[in-house]
Structure 1
Amino acid sequence: MRYHLVLAMAMAVTASNASAQAGADPDRAVAGSGIQVRGWQGRTDRAEQRIADVRFVAMGTGYHLTNGPHAILWHQDNVATGDYTVRARLTKTPRSTSTHEESYGVFIGGSDLTGPRQNYLYCVVFGTGTVMVRHRDGADTHTLMGKTANASVSKMSDRGATDEVALWVRGGRVGCSVNGTEVFSAARADMIGPGKLVSTDGVFGVRASHNLDLHIEGPTISRP
Structure 2
Amino acid sequence: MRSILPYAFAASLACTLTTGALFAQESPDTNRKVAGGGITVKGWEGKVDDAAEKAGQSANDAKLSEQGKTLQVTTGPAITYWNPKNVAKGDYTVSATFNEPKFQNLNNHPHPYGIVIAGNGLGTAEQSYIYCAAYGNGNFIVRGFGPEPFQLNGRREANDAVHKAAGVGEPVTQEIAMQVKGDKVSCIINGTVVKTLEKADLVTAGKLKSTDGVYGIRFAHNTDATVSNLKITRP
Shorter-chain TM-score range: 0.7 to 0.9
1:39 to 2:47 alignment:
no
Question: What's the offset of the Cα at 1:28?
Answer: 1.6
SS of residue paired to 1:190: helix
Deviation of 1:190 (Å): 2.1
Q: 1:178 to 1:23 in 2, by over 3 A?
A: closer
In structure 2, the partner of 1:97 is 106
Larger strand percent: 1
Partner of residue 165, structure 2: 156
Secondary structure in 1 aligned to 2:200? helix
Q: Which residue number corresponds to residue 132 of structure 2?
A: 123
CA distance in 2 between counterparts of 1:30 and 1:87 reads 27
Structure 2 CA distance for aligned equivalents of residues 90 and 196 of structure 1: 26
Pairwise mapping of residues 133-152 of structure 1 onto structure 2 (< 5 A)?
133-138=142-147, 140-146=148-154, 147-152=156-161
Q: What 5-or-longer segments of structure 2 have no aligned partner?
A: 1-23
Structure 2 residue aligned with 1:54: 62
Q: Answer whether contact 2:138 2:160 (CA < 8 A) is retained.
A: yes
Alignment correspondent of 2:207: 196
CA contact (8 A) 2:33 2:77 kept: no
1:76-127 residue CA offsets vs partner (Å, 9 max, x unmatched): 2111000000011101121721113211001100011111111001111111
Separation in 2 of the partners of 1:106 and 1:84?
13
1:69 aligns with 2:77: yes
Identity %: 38
Distance 2:129 2:110 in 1: 22
Q: CA deviation at 1:33?
A: 0.9
Q: Which residue of 2 aligns with 1:87?
A: 95
**Shift in Å, 1:141:** 1.3
CA RMSD of aligned residues (A): 1.8
Q: Distance in 1 between matches of 2:202 and 2:77?
A: 28
- Which 4+ residue blocks in structure 1 deviate beyond 6 angstroms? none
What is the DSSP-based 3-state SS (H/G/I as helix, E as strand, rest coil) of the residue aligned with 1:145? coil
Does the 8 Å contact 2:97/2:174 carry over to 1?
A: yes
TM-score between both structures, scaled by the size of structure 2:
0.82
Deviation at 1:23, TM superposition (A): 4.1
Partner Cα separation in structure 1 for residue 111 and residue 27 of structure 2: 14
Task: State the secondary structure of the residue aligned to 2:85.
Answer: coil
Q: Do the aligned residues in 1 keep the contact of 2:72 with 2:227 (CA within 8 Å)? A: yes
Shift of 1:128: 1.1
Q: Which residue of 1 aligns with 2:182?
A: 171
Unaligned runs of 5+ in 1: 1-19
Shift of 1:189: 1.9
| TM-score (normalizing by structure 1) | 0.86
